[in-house]
């Protein structure tokens, strides 16, 4: 059936559930610096641990489109006593990346950008060794290797809540949803920021721990090298379904204070005010 320009009211609704089905790839965690983590957090987020986690995965059966690849970097935060993940930045590639980016940004406020080519996000496997790399506009941003076996640090299993095949775990994430409107001079400005809390559910098919080596780099447009890697904690090759569940507005922080900490993960330098370094 071909697309229509005008939908019925019943059709003009976003699908309430979003499932990243058959998501497979490298998950990793490293110890970084609390001061650096603290410096990137908008209010009211507070740092919970000096840890940074991330992943490079292929989402083979998303409920909202074709397959795509995705990389993420996030930190652990405390919001009024609730500890959760604050994903700072996402990069996506592949046929389903466009829709995943639109949905993620508009619906949930996810800081997503697109890579040009599917292979900009790649995972190669050779026996018990994997290597995931993320490039954008020709610059290498993330390079993670994983040797399957044991975590670098045995405590890493606690961080991931002891995943195993068949296990279902939950977790809270926090996102900033931003609303851009023209002001009285006709200039588009951020008038409102919503802080969302989002419950997510992971259903694991497999979780194979391993030793990671994490390398992160920054480019002109993407500051993925912000966090120093002081200790490789560990990672895993995982296959799971991830379902995004309830979404709540839990705060409306001041846009002026918040946006400087959000813009570079949403826009490239060319889109920002010129002449400002």
Q: Which residues bind another protein (CB under 8 A)?
A: 31-39, 41, 43-49, 78, 81, 129-131, 143, 145-147, 152-153, 158, 211-215, 225, 228-232
Q: Provide the minimum distance between the beta carbon of 24 and another protein in the complex, in angstroms, as a whole number.
A: 18
The CB density around residue 29, as the number of other CB atoms within 10 Å, is 28
Q: Provide the minimum distance between the beta carbon of 40 and another protein in the complex, in angstroms, as a whole number.
A: 9
Comparing CB distances to another protein, the nearer of 94 and 210 is 210
Sequential DSSP letters for the chain: ----SS--TTTSS--S-EEEEEEEEEEEEEE--HHHHHHHPPTT-EEEEEEEEEEEEEEEEETTSS-EEEEEEEEEEEETTEEEEEEEEEEEESTTHHHHHHHIIIII---EEE-SSGGGEEEEEETTEEEEEEEETTEEEEEEEEEESS-SSTTHHHHTT---TT-EEEEEEEEEEEEEEE-TTS-EEEEEEEEEEEEEEEEEEEEEEEEEEEEE---SS--TT-S---EEEEEEEEEEEEEEEEEEEEE---HHHHGGGTGGGTS-GGGSPTT--
Comparing CB distances to another protein, the nearer of 59 and 216 is 216
Q: Provide the minimum distance between the beta carbon of 257 and another protein in the complex, in angstroms, as a whole number.
A: 13
Comparing CB distances to another protein, the nearer of 105 and 211 is 211
Comparing CB distances to another protein, the nearer of 229 and 263 is 229
Q: Provide the minimum distance between the beta carbon of 231 and another protein in the complex, in angstroms, as a whole number.
A: 4
Q: Provide the minimum distance between the beta carbon of 63 and another protein in the complex, in angstroms, as a whole number.
A: 33
Q: Provide the minimum distance between the beta carbon of 211 and another protein in the complex, in angstroms, as a whole number.
A: 4
Comparing CB distances to another protein, the nearer of 106 and 220 is 220
Comparing CB distances to another protein, the nearer of 61 and 215 is 215
């Amino acid at each position: 059936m071909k697309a229509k320009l005008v939908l019925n009211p019943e059709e003009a609704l976003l699908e309430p559930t979003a499932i990243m089905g058959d998501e497979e790839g490298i998950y990793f965690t490293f110890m970084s610096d609390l001061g650096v983590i603290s410096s990137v957090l908008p209010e009211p987020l507070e740092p919970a641990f000096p840890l940074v986690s991330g992943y490079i995965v292929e989402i083979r059966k998303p409920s909202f489109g074709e397959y795509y690849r995705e990389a993420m970097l996030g930190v652990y935060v405390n919001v009024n006593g609730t500890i959760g993940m604050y994903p700072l930045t996402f990069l996506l590639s592949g046929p389903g990346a466009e829709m995943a980016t639109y949905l993620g940004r508009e619906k949930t406020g996810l800081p997503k950008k697109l890579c040009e080519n599917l292979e900009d996000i790649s995972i190669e496997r050779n026996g018990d060794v994997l290597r995931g790399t993320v490039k954008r506009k020709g610059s290498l941003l993330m390079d993670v290797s994983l040797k399957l076996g044991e975590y670098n640090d045995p405590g890493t299993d606690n961080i991931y809540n002891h995943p195993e095949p068949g296990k279902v775990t939950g977790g809270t994430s926090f996102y900033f949803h931003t609303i851009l409107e023209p002001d009285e001079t006709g200039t588009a400005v951020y008038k409102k920021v919503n802080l969302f809390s989002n419950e997510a559910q992971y259903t694991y098919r497999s979780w194979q721990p391993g030793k990671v080596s994490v390398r992160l780099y920054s480019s002109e447009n993407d500051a993925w090298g912000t966090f120093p890697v002081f200790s490789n904690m560990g990672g895993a090759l995982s296959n799971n379904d991830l379902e995004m569940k309830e979404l709540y507005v839990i705060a409306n922080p001041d846009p002026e204070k918040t946006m400087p900490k959000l813009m570079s993960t949403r826009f490239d330098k060319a889109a920002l005010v010129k002449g400002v370094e």
